[in-house]
Amino acid sequence: MATTKAAIVKNEDKPAPKRQEPGAASNALSKVTGSWENFTHFLSDVRSEMRKVVTPSRKEVQATTTVVIIAVFLFGLYFFVIDRIFALGLDKLLKSLAGAR
């Protein structure tokens, strides 16, 4: 009897539950062995990916560090100027509201 997708969705024709057989210990051992094989496959994948990693040269590191330091100072200067503008505007607004009494 072939099961159809609609029959599976409607929970018809369910397979019988599996009975635990006397070889349950061997089943557990096969699960552990399978897990170990998966783990060793994972480690081999990690090793192959690590072989693709390229370490930058000293010149490249110096160039990117210089760019980062310059960018940090420019952003710091930009936010300092914006903060001063907002502080002056807020100060004038509060002084004008306090003098309105």
pLDDT in tens, 74-97: 999 999 999 999 999 999 999 999
pTM score of the predicted model: 0.48
**Residue 32 carries which side chain, given as an amino acid letter?**
V
Domain ranges of the chain: 24-53, 56-101
How is 5-19 classified by DSSP, letter by letter?
A: HHHHHTT-SPPPPPP
Please state, for a pLDDT cut of 90, what percent of the chain lies above it.
Answer: 56
